[in-house]
Chains A and B, each alone.
Chain A
């Protein structure tokens, strides 16, 4: 009798304790500034309002690089957030550090959330997965490079958006030049003209299955004729006044397109939101990245850029449960559609894409669909992405050498030789950090 009373007291105490700490609080460090940050905050508020068990606090930590560095420093001090946003180039670093994160697939399954990797759009699916196809990071803000064009300029020149680079150089560019435009600019040479060049033409980018099968002995395969010929063509276009390069900064190359000086600009599908909010003074639209017919007659899909969310290790089961709940909320079709519409980033699941179609979103904004359509084109052996360590520095090396090509400081062959040497040296160094 007494025992059961005590037992009851303990039970009710436990119950009370549960009520007292009803909300499990989790933190989310991200790199989404400005309008993007406000959208992240809106999603967090919706999540907090949708249930009463968990409370998510998003924290803006600066650029992608700063966010990753802050996350690493915090992890080493045992103060890591529950969720860390890591960008594409940092994926190898965070995935390589086994024990730093809980694979998102394991996390979701352990917490009873239905998970099927095939629910995700094909170009999104495996970028943040391991070599067995297990999803490690949850794709979040995902974008793909697409070709934006000034509709008025192309009409004035009497041309249609080029499907191939051959068409661009023989038809589109000369006509645009006669109409008074610089035909082409782009905003990210490593991403658009290198990584996605490989994917679009289904060329291997690195050994070891593009780096997914392990760091040991991974070598970059960037020094090949297809891409070198592309850069030689770009150089020629530049001399002919068909292409202009405004530096490594993203915005410096986007501005001339917005000012109507450049007719075609290669940017991110995620740039759509920003472009549509501006009063450009001309109509713009978008379509797929051109490809070289000389290289392939069956162009493939591109893969995503942007960033994904990682569940950091070393957290309690209760907090992991909250993280899983947030991921579930985030991948819901409604949340994804909201994110897609607000920012221009692609919806990562087929369900969200179907919802956007059903809501008639693409009837009012057809250009918003291009990124996701391009990500859903046929896949090839080399279209799921790449996994290379110290990739931020490899990109810096590419940017440096590409800049030198376009300022006439070096020639294409020398530059690609240097990129190959320095990238391989960096990959070998990275392999040594993983022992």
Chain B
């Protein structure tokens, strides 16, 4: 069979140009700028700058607070990812079985998806208001004096809760469509082989959902690392103080609040490397072992 192809090399390049130029202007160029300025200490207005080599990186490595933030980010990401996926899966499995009113039930779960992160954060601020927040009161009645913005772990709890609440609907949509794409014949065969519902779920349904699950795992890790910014910013009310924060929020605090361009560029480069590693992991390990039908 003859393969269809271009006769010249220039036409495909020309056709790729719109896409390439967008990537270059909006990604490679700023990324290169960030890498470059991470080697300098620069006056924000651009008058003076000193080449400092790797000093911005060694400063971060030697900074106990930065390590603490990195460690918090790891725990935060693990918690948000786990609970967003687990709750969404549970809801999807249950929703899949609902027959009467299925549509409205699903819509109710999904519409949280439309809430913007800062709005979600604001809902959290209201729920955990120090003097009249309903969730603050609920904790008080359980004997815990919950104070958002004062207690480190209380604030961390609120951040995880709001971030999970915001992310569950997205996962729910994917899991539900994943469940509905499992062929009926497979389910019926499983029903004959195994009478236990949970046995059927773990042996048949769960492996068949794996491609969706791994895709969502990557999406959720990226969400917890980056897209929770709005939630965090709203919950700490713009004042980092002694509150927990993630690495992305630290980039903002140092770069946009503090005008330390070199330091925050170095932090962004570290995050770029992290994302690169995540992408490699996704393609090398996950995509190879998971078979999409």
Which residues of A are at the interface with B, using a C-beta cutoff of 8 A? 63, 65-66, 68-69, 72, 75-76, 90, 93-94, 96-100, 245-249, 251-252, 255-256, 259, 390, 392-393, 396, 399-404, 406-407, 409, 422, 425-426, 429, 432-435
Residues in B with CB closer than 8 Å to A75 are 45-46
Task: Check if B46 sits within 8 Å of A76, measured CB to CB.
Answer: yes
Q: Is the interface of B mostly helix, strand, loop or mixed?
A: loop
CA distance A390 to B41 in the complex (A): 12
Closest to A259 in B: B131
Task: Check if B254 sits within 8 Å of A393, measured CB to CB.
Answer: yes
Task: Check if A248 sits within 8 Å of B47, measured CB to CB.
Answer: no
Task: Check if B148 sits within 8 Å of A247, measured CB to CB.
Answer: yes
B239 within 8 A of A: yes
Residues in B with CB closer than 8 Å to A396 are 240-241, 253, 257-258
Give the contact stretch, choosing among B3-11, B106-114, B149-157: B149-157
Task: Check if A247 sits within 8 Å of B41, measured CB to CB.
Answer: no
CA distance A92 to B148 in the complex (A): 33
CA distance A97 to B242 in the complex (A): 31
Selected A-B contacts with CB under 8 Å, 25 pairs: A68-B259, A75-B46, A90-B259, A93-B259, A94-B45, A100-B47, A246-B130, A246-B149, A247-B148, A247-B239, A248-B241, A248-B242, A248-B243, A249-B149, A249-B241, A256-B131, A399-B239, A403-B241, A407-B150, A425-B59, A429-B260, A432-B41, A432-B50, A433-B49, A435-B48
Q: Select which of B42, B149, B150 is within 8 A of A433 by beta carbon.
A: B42
Residues in B with CB closer than 8 Å to A66 are 256
Task: Check if B131 sits within 8 Å of A249, measured CB to CB.
Answer: no
Q: Select which of A65, A96, A259, A407 is within 8 A of B151 by beta carbon.
A: A407
Which residues of B are at the interface with A, using a C-beta cutoff of 8 A? 41-50, 52, 59, 65, 130-131, 147-152, 236-243, 253-254, 256-260, 262-263
Q: Select which of A252, A400, A429 is within 8 A of B130 by beta carbon.
A: A252
Number of A-B residue pairs having CB atoms within 8 Å of each other in the complex:
125
Task: Check if B238 sits within 8 Å of A433, measured CB to CB.
Answer: no
Q: Select which of B41, B236, B260 is within 8 A of A393 by beta carbon.
A: B260
Q: Select which of A98, A252, A404 is within 8 A of B47 by beta carbon.
A: A98
CA distance A245 to B147 in the complex (A): 10
Residues in A with CB closer than 8 Å to B242 are 248, 399-404, 407, 409
Given A93-B259, A396-B240, do A247 and B149 touch, yes or no (CB 8 Å)? yes
Task: Check if A249 sits within 8 Å of B239, measured CB to CB.
Answer: yes
Task: Check if A433 sits within 8 Å of B48, measured CB to CB.
Answer: yes
